[in-house]
A and B are shown apart, each in its own frame.
Chain A
Amino acid sequence: MTEFDWTQLLDYSLMAMLLAVGIAIVRLRNLFAIVMLMGVYSLISAAWFVSLDAVDVAFTEAAVGAGISTVLMLAAMLLTAREAEPVKAGRHWAALIVVSVTGAALFYAVGDMPIYGDPNSAANAYVGMDYITSTPNEIAVPNVVTAVLASYRGFDTFGETVVIFAAGLGVMLLLGLNAAKKEAGK
């Protein structure tokens, strides 16, 4: 059991790619390239989620991050310029301070987290264990998270979907469809 888990190498290489893409997004000025890189960032992080067993999160990340956001970003670029203006050096420092403080707070909070896979942690001890034991009998879906999202909390998920659909429809009615009709009638 002490054998080195070689799939860890995949995790590390994906994380290195995420870091490289993040730095490139900050440094590039061409907004087209940045939109594409953000799509790629989402793809990499979704692949990483799959390797961490979080299949549902990966599904959502791929659909929302790589699919919808790329198109939304492009639509937003219709209203702005094609190139980003360089940011003044003074504003880098403010951002760096905010990021450092947030990162330090998160690292401080890591100390209070239970060990990975701890049977007495809050996630495993109470109702979570109940879901894990009863899901195969009640829902018969192999992935517990999917069962919770789509069946135990099905109405909740449905409500979320309706809200997002209504919001998207409202935005399209306010911005999109009119312009298309005007252009087509020209």
Chain B
Amino acid sequence: MMGWVNLISLLAMALAMAIMLGRLFAGPTLYDRVLAANSFGTKTVLLLLIFSLLVGRADGVDIALLYALINFVATIAILKFFRYRSLEVALAQMSLRRAIDGDDE
């Protein structure tokens, strides 16, 4: 019984990922795509957790945690690059520089 519930939620999660892919392909602006990619990553984490429940192995949980971390870092990197055109200076310094220069873009 439990296996069926897990299986159906697994396939539903795969369907949700496919829908997110559609937004990722079509997304007119960059922000649509960033949101879609971030949400896709979250759904991958959930998919892995459900999958490791389904097959009864704990390995997937570690990987799901790693994905959650990587997803966050990648989203921040993309947004930082888009806003500041640079990855090298720390975010704290950048807001400082903007405050000094009065560069309110």
Which A residues have a C-beta under 8 Å from some C-beta of B? 6-7, 9-10, 13-14, 16-17, 20-21, 24, 28, 32-33, 35-37, 39-40, 43-44, 46-47, 50-51, 55, 58-59, 62-63, 66-67, 70-71, 74-75, 77-78, 142-143, 176-177, 179-180, 183-184
Complex Cα–Cα for A58 and B27 (A): 28
Complex Cα–Cα for A180 and B90 (A): 10
Of A6, A67, A75, the residue contacting B7 (CB under 8 A) is A6
Complex Cα–Cα for A143 and B51 (A): 17
Q: Is the CB of B47 within 8 A of A47?
A: yes
Complex Cα–Cα for A56 and B39 (A): 24
Given the complex, which residues of A lie within 8 Å of B73, measured CB to CB? 67, 71
Beta-carbon nearest neighbor of B41 in chain A: A43
The residue in B15, B40, B52 that gathers the most chain A C-beta atoms within 10 A of its C-beta is B40
Of B10, B25, B87, B93, the residue contacting A71 (CB under 8 A) is B87
**Contact A176 B44, CB 8 Å, known A36-B34, A50-B63, A143-B59:** no
Of B11, B30, B63, B66, the residue contacting A10 (CB under 8 A) is B11
Q: Is the CB of B10 within 8 A of A10?
A: yes
Within 8 A of A (CB), among B16-48: 17-18, 21, 24-25, 27, 30, 33-34, 37, 40-41, 44, 47-48
A–B complex contacts, Cβ < 8 Å, 24 sampled? A20-B21, A24-B24, A24-B25, A32-B30, A32-B78, A35-B78, A36-B34, A39-B37, A40-B40, A46-B44, A47-B44, A47-B48, A50-B48, A50-B51, A62-B63, A62-B66, A66-B74, A67-B73, A70-B77, A71-B73, A71-B74, A77-B81, A180-B89, A183-B88
Task: Report the tally of A-B residue pairs with Cβ distances under 8 A.
Answer: 121
Given the complex, which residues of A lie within 8 Å of B93, measured CB to CB? 184
Complex Cα–Cα for A49 and B81 (A): 30
Which B residues have a C-beta under 8 Å from some C-beta of A? 7, 10-11, 14-15, 17-18, 21, 24-25, 27, 30, 33-34, 37, 40-41, 44, 47-48, 51-52, 54-55, 59-60, 62-63, 66-67, 70-71, 73-74, 77-78, 81-82, 85-89, 93
Tell me the minimal C-beta distance from B85 to chain A in angstroms: 7
Q: Is the CB of B17 within 8 A of A17?
A: yes
Q: Is the CB of B54 within 8 A of A7?
A: yes
**Contact A74 B77, CB 8 Å, known A21-B21, A47-B44, A51-B51:** yes
